[in-house]
Structure 1
Amino acid sequence: MQALEQFFGVIGDLTWGWSLVPILVIFGTFITVATGFVQFEFFGRMFRVLTRGRTESGKISAREALLVSVGGRVGGGNIAGVAVAITLGGPGAVFWMWAIALVGMATSLVECSLAQLFKRADPLTGQYRGGPARAILHGLGENYRWLAVIYAICLIAAFALGFNAFQGNTVAGAAEASLGIDRMWSAIFLAVMTGFIVFGGIRRIAKASEVVVPVMAVGYLLMALVVILTNLGEIPSVLSSIVANAFGFEEAVSGGMGAALAQGLRRGLFSNEAGLGSAPNVAATAEVNHPISQGITQAFSVFIDTIIICSCTAFVILLSDVYVPGATDIDGIALTQTAMVSHLGEWTQYFMTFAILLFAFSSVIYNYYLGENAITVLTKTPVATIVLKIVVVGIVFVGAVAPNATSVFFFSDPLMGVLALVNLLVLMMLFPIALRVLQDFRKQLKAGVARPVLRLEDFPDLDLDPRAWPNRD
């Protein structure tokens, strides 16, 4: 076991420690420039998805796909991760989280547009499946199947198994600490709810997200807004502190600007998942007229995750009197809970426990779907999907009931690093195709088409599925 831990530790050092963050930042900046700052060009269009309901065909709508992906992106990183970043990197970490989110919006737009482009219609259900693995198979060809297999295995191990155990552990720990609920009861509740959702397929996952995500996001935002409004006079000084610490004019922690930059970039990337290759699996499920439409929607998901929700957590912490820069024994969730209590009173710890429950549950069902989508790349046997459902329910239960159970999932972060590197390699290889599709979208808008449509005859050289792109003229 120790040898395995050391092996995965080396992988983690080679990905997250040395290569991954710089590549994500550099390539994200390149995509932003090469696409002509596409995230700003289409920023206004992002909000249109909020007014669009379900599709007439019964397939997943753009809004439902958005809510599933927001439910997955928004989780412990928005509550605990932001607190850790601020504590270890100072207020300046928030600025760099914003910066990487703006860059990540372009990366997410491209990766999710490619996932949409190469999606496939399931012959049994008619629902769509896609993501980086299928982009590899149908964009790069069968010669790269080995790369798709590596991606799929990493996705299952990191998200469906490892991260789901951590989510269960987070909920049970918060319920035990603030409400005194025994871990066993939390474990049973989570396992039952998870089983009910995942055995219902992507439609039930989408319906659950349509309820859970707005409740958790709006509830949390309203609480944070109350804190901000009651401390409105201090906002200018907090903003000033964020900028000053970000550029080294003030030093809140040892390491100064370097610590702020490192923590902000790392936590921002971990939270919004732009470029990591996870969200495209959900983006591909939506029925849209053009791949870029869903790419724009998923860029909006990054904006919601980091610019809105992470910022709310940051302001709650920085406006409180409990924040201690550079603390080494920080518990991120505890800091955010304590900060909220200091603003609004003891009752908010119960609200925070409820918020953590919703955040974690939405992440569990999102993580499960990523695993399900990946396993269909490895095998067409329906039994494999059923086995995965049972395993995920068991993993959530074990993660919740045993405080130290999550230590056996030491491979999760390193394998997510491998996953991200594979995804970035694929993005680099398919980026010229993404630019062609983006140019087609812009051309139709310029010609006065309000809602551009992908026409397969315009891309005869690409391996696209006609069942996934019926004529919508």
Structure 2
Amino acid sequence: MNTLDSWILQINDYFWTYLLIPLVAIAGVYFTLRSRAVQVRLLVETFRIFRDKPKDGVSPFGAFSISAAARIGTGNIAGVATAVTLGGPGAVFWMWVMAVVGGASAFVEAVLAQLYKARGKQPGTYRGGPAYYLERALGKRWLGVLFAALITVTFGFVLTAVQSNTIAVTVKGSLNGADPAWFVPALGAALAALLALAVFYGVKRLSMVTQVLVPVMAGFYLILGSVVVLMNITAVPQMLGDIIGGAFGIREVAGGAVGGAILQGMRRGMFSNEAGMGSAPNAAAAAETTHPVKQGLVQTLGVYFDTLVICTMTAFVVLSVNPSLAERGGADVTQSAFHAALGAWAGHALTLVVFMVAFSSMIGNYYYGESNIGFITRNRWVMVGYRGAILACTVLGVMGSVSIVWNLADITMGAMALVNLLAILPLSTIAFKLLDDYVAQRREGLNPVFTRDRVPGLKGVECWEPPAAAEEPQRPEPEAARGPSSPVEPLPPCDTGAVRGPGAPPARGPRSEVDRIP
């Protein structure tokens, strides 16, 4: 077993070091330059988008919560601590770089997911992601099926087992070895039962669950971490110096430690925020919005929230308290830091945090698999089997060892990212055309609305039809002039059933929804 684990780990190191990390970095820099740093210059715009409230489908904030629920998991606690342990404090800096550059990759993949999404069975619901734009934009269904299978195995099965195992480890740690023999199977059954409640409620209720869990878990963890950092505020200047020095210091260059910092920082950063990996676009496609760029901006914020806020807090806690990093790894490092700063009760508090982040990740993981199973087949029994399998993985994860599973997850996630990045690099020109359309409408003081005829030559787009008898953009009349009998009714961004008659002016989108943005 150790030989197999070592073999898988060696494959991982070569794959990530010499292929994936250079590709991720090159793609992120290219997207940043080509979009003129959209992930930075339109950041404020993202918060305005959260006010959009669709009539039937998942809201932009709901889609953000689903993707954040999958992003914010044990990687934010165990993964960051591992990066610091193996790569030193300098790994934190490269995690930040990965987040900023990766924000552009997250933007591109989310815009493409929105553009090429498909309608769900229920009105106002949508499915999409890399599998869909691989088939519809590139005409490669076999690549779409391959990606759908990879993400289903990785998130639906492997990472679900990882999350449940982490919950079990922290719970047993809080009990200080006082758990009886029946405890672990009972914990697995309880976790499976809780997940089943979310699984069988459906995606709209799923987004409602995560909209509650994500702010609660993130807020509690940030408060707890802030207390620890404030208690060690005198260590913060030295900590920041170690982070910058570890990233560029002469001593680290001489010792070869900078390479380890870059490798661990970028690898764990991608593992945590999933930018460019192709997982978050599945949640982005579920949102009902008036323009694909809106969801691209929302998903960019998700990358920042995950890495620049949550992961940074973990790193600051570990480095400000400075526990013995050499003797522990993963979540044990973070747990020892909280214990050293706040006492034994902090271990129980961290157990609660780990449970919340891990369980919300399990919910998001389920949705990613469900969406991609639907791409491969519509057979309801396959979906039933998938639901049963993910519940079984929850139980097995609690009872089993996770080292090989983690390494296998690295391989399958890397394969996902490789397929996705090679697809979005040529397709990014389409995303940037949509970005130009969005910016042009905002400059006119309009709430941007997209229809597929606004970008000539689009193929494979199922939604975003132009409305019937479309007219040139109209500024809304003042409320008093319009009168109570002529309200401005919004039109849906998809499925307008448009049939344009001869002589109609060029379609410009469902502008009855447009209003002037203050």
Q: Would you say same fold, with TM above 0.5?
A: yes
Which residue identity lines up with residue 287 of structure 1 in the other structure? Answer: E
CA contact (8 A) 1:95 1:242 kept: yes
> Are 1:101 and 2:102 matched, yes or no?
no
Distance 2:316 2:426 in 1: 40
CA contact (8 A) 2:52 2:289 kept: no
Structure 1, unpaired ranges of 5+: none
CA contact (8 A) 1:168 1:399 kept: yes
Distance 2:289 2:105 in 1: 20
* Distance change in 2, residues 1:460/1:4 (3 Å): farther
- 1:241-280 to structure 2, matched below 5 A, reads 241-251=242-252, 255-280=256-281
Distance 2:123 2:280 in 1: 22
CA contact (8 A) 1:87 1:323 kept: no
Equivalences, count: 464
CA contact (8 A) 2:5 2:403 kept: no
- 1:369-448 to structure 2, matched below 5 A, reads 369-400=367-398, 402-404=399-401, 407=404, 411-448=408-445
- 1:49-64 to structure 2, matched below 5 A, reads 49-50=49-50, 52=51, 54-57=53-56, 59-64=57-62
> Are 1:146 and 2:142 matched, yes or no?
yes
> Are 1:465 and 2:462 matched, yes or no?
yes
Partner of 2:170: 174
Distance 1:454 1:126 in 2: 17
Distance 1:358 1:130 in 2: 27
* Distance change in 2, residues 1:225/1:5 (3 Å): closer
Distance 1:111 1:409 in 2: 25
CA contact (8 A) 1:399 1:405 kept: yes
* Distance change in 2, residues 1:10/1:140 (3 Å): farther
1:458 Cα offset (Å): 1.0
Partner of 1:341: 339
1:357 to 355, 358, 364: 355
- 1:449-460 to structure 2, matched below 5 A, reads 449=446, 451-460=447-456
> Are 1:68 and 2:73 matched, yes or no?
no
* Distance change in 2, residues 1:207/1:252 (3 Å): farther
Partner of 2:488: none
1:72-102 alpha-carbon deviations (Å, 9 max, x no partner):
1111111011111111111111111101100
- TM-score, normalised via structure 1 length: 0.93
Distance 1:193 1:219 in 2: 21
- 1:241-320 to structure 2, matched below 5 A, reads 241-251=242-252, 255-320=256-321
- More displaced, 411-420 or 153-162? 411-420
Distance 2:260 2:456 in 1: 49
Partner of 2:473: none
* Distance change in 2, residues 1:85/1:27 (3 Å): same
CA contact (8 A) 2:24 2:276 kept: yes
Distance 2:322 2:10 in 1: 39
* Distance change in 2, residues 1:127/1:3 (3 Å): farther
Which residue identity lines up with residue 245 of structure 2 in the other structure? Answer: A
1:252 Cα offset (Å): 11
Distance 1:238 1:410 in 2: 30
Which residue identity lines up with residue 352 of structure 1 in the other structure? Answer: L
- 1:224-239 to structure 2, matched below 5 A, reads 224-239=225-240
Structure 2, unpaired ranges of 5+: 465-492, 497-509
Which residue identity lines up with residue 232 of structure 2 in the other structure? Answer: N
- More displaced, 68-77 or 9-18? 9-18
- More displaced, 376-385 or 12-21? 12-21
Which residue identity lines up with residue 97 of structure 2 in the other structure? Answer: A
Distance 1:3 1:334 in 2: 25
> Are 1:332 and 2:333 matched, yes or no?
no
User: Max radius of gyration: which structure?
Assistant: 2
- TM-score, normalised via structure 2 length: 0.85
Partner of 2:30: 30
Partner of 1:80: 78
* Distance change in 2, residues 1:4/1:154 (3 Å): farther
1:168-213 alpha-carbon deviations (Å, 9 max, x no partner):
1111111111134521222111100011101111112111101111
- More displaced, 245-254 or 187-196? 245-254
Distance 2:231 2:9 in 1: 45
1:152 Cα offset (Å): 0.8
Distance 1:405 1:12 in 2: 16
